[in-house]
Amino acid sequence: MPERGVTYGLKYQARSLAAVRAGDKRSRWLVGTVSLREENEVQLLQYDPDKETIELAASYQHDHEIWQLLPHPAEAAKLLTVRNRGGQYSANPESLVSLEEGNIRTWSLQASGAKMTADSSPGDMTQLWAGCWNPFNQQTFYTADANNLQVWDLRSLKVVAEVQGAHSAPVRDVDSSKQREHLLISAGDDAKVRYWDMRQGSKAQPLAETSTHRHWVWQARFNPVHDQLVLSCSSDALVSLTYNPGLMGPSPSGQQKGTSAGQDAVSRSFDDHEESVYGVAWSHGDPWVFASLSYDGRFVVNKVPGQIKYKILI
């Protein structure tokens, strides 16, 4: 196992974790608690690489359980929270998309608040589990419904493609590469993380697959700078880091399709947690640093092992 990470303990149970993008280049994250009986908090945590410590930079009281939060990507003083009812949110500096009990809605962020601009349902008895933007095209949004993946055109708020049976169990999370358009990962209750080229639309097949967990995978995240690095976390209390150099190249569609990661893929497990790990997030100040959060309120900062880091740099 890798060296132990740096740990910080929250007072209450927690599920939501997000990296802070705006501001300076420090490694900072927001975490939100889900206490049933006590007043909840949003905490801003900062990692000091010189001292190898985690500091509480700020704390904000919150009246309800925090099931999801999202820092504004351009303004450090703004964030969104989802209470114990609602969906999951993703945003750019001007707009917001929400997934709420089977509906997808778009919003305009204004000085007076958020104004809904469009509303659509993917179909009867359909509930959207997760979503993310295509960072190269603000009119394209990806969602997960049960075992399937959808591609939405936000101009018409219609599904333009759907990958049915993307996983053999419900899909918990999706994330887009920040380096290559159309490259997507999905994480599911089948304990798998799968890679997709969404230019193939409804005919898309997994480019690769990793099976490093033994239980539901709650989140999977591309590294913001090196998309051959992917983090995932699971109810098995493990965080997994996968380095998949086989996905490098000018185009994801040029990769060989298959049901497993490339032969050169390397995965490392981090066992700093004792309960289900609900969140993982890369630092936006240092691409070799990442954080994880488990239900018992344990927040841990780890680093990409040197052997993997040097393979990328050399």
How do residues 5-32 score in pLDDT, each as one tens digit?
A: 999 999 999 999 999 987 778 999 999 9
DSSP state of 245: G
For residues 127 and 231, give the distance between their C-alpha atoms in angstroms, rounded to a whole number: 25
Q: Residue 1 domain-assigned?
A: no
pLDDT at 87: 52
Q: What is the pLDDT of residue 85?
A: 54
When pLDDT is averaged across residues 190-195 and rounded to a whole number, the result is: 96
Model pLDDT, residue 129: 83
pLDDT beyond 90 at 163 = yes
pLDDT over 80 (residue 264): no
pLDDT value of position 280: 98
- Measure CA 213 to chain center: 16
For range 74-86, the mean pLDDT = 74
CA angle 64, 70, 74 (to 5 degrees): 140
Q: What is the mean pLDDT of the chain?
A: 87
Find all residues with CB under 8 Å of 313, minimum gap 6, and list them.
none
What confidence category does residue 257 fall into, taking pLDDT thresholds of 50, 70 and 90?
Answer: very low
Looking at the structure of the chain, the number of domains it has is: 1
The helix/strand/coil state of 243 is: strand
Assigned domain for 119 exists: yes
Q: Do the beta carbons of residue 197 and residue 204 sit within 8 Å?
A: yes
pLDDT at residue 262 is higher than 70: no
Q: How far apart are CA 4 and CA 220, in angstroms?
A: 21
**pLDDT given for residue 106 in this prediction:** 82
Tokens 């929400």 belong to 98
Secondary structure of residue 257 in the 3-state scheme: coil
- 206 domain residue, yes or no: yes
156/119 Cα distance (integer angstroms): 10
Q: Which two tokens stand for residue 47?
A: 């990692």
C-beta separation of 44 from 90 below 8 A: no
Domain that holds residue 286: 6-313
Kindly write down the DSSP assignment for every residue of 153-189, as one continuous string: ETTTTEEEEEETTSSSS-EEEEEE-SSSTTEEEEEET
Please calculate the CA angle 261-267-273 and round it to the nearest 5 degrees. Answer: 135
Question: How much is the pLDDT for 126?
Answer: 67
| CATH at 38 | 2.130.10.10
Give the percent of the chain with pLDDT over 70.
86
C-alpha separations of 15 from 18, 191, 222, 298 in Å:
10, 19, 19, 10
Residue 242 forms part of a structural domain: yes
**Cα(118)–Cα(106) distance, integer angstroms:** 5
**Count of other CB atoms within 10 angstroms of residue 51:** 9
Rounded to two decimals, the pTM is: 0.87
| Helix then strand then coil, % of the chain, to nearest 5 | 5, 50, 45
C-alpha angle 204-167-186 in degrees, rounded to nearest 5: 75
pLDDT tens digits for range 86-103:
455 554 656 778 887 678
The pLDDT of residue 1 is 44
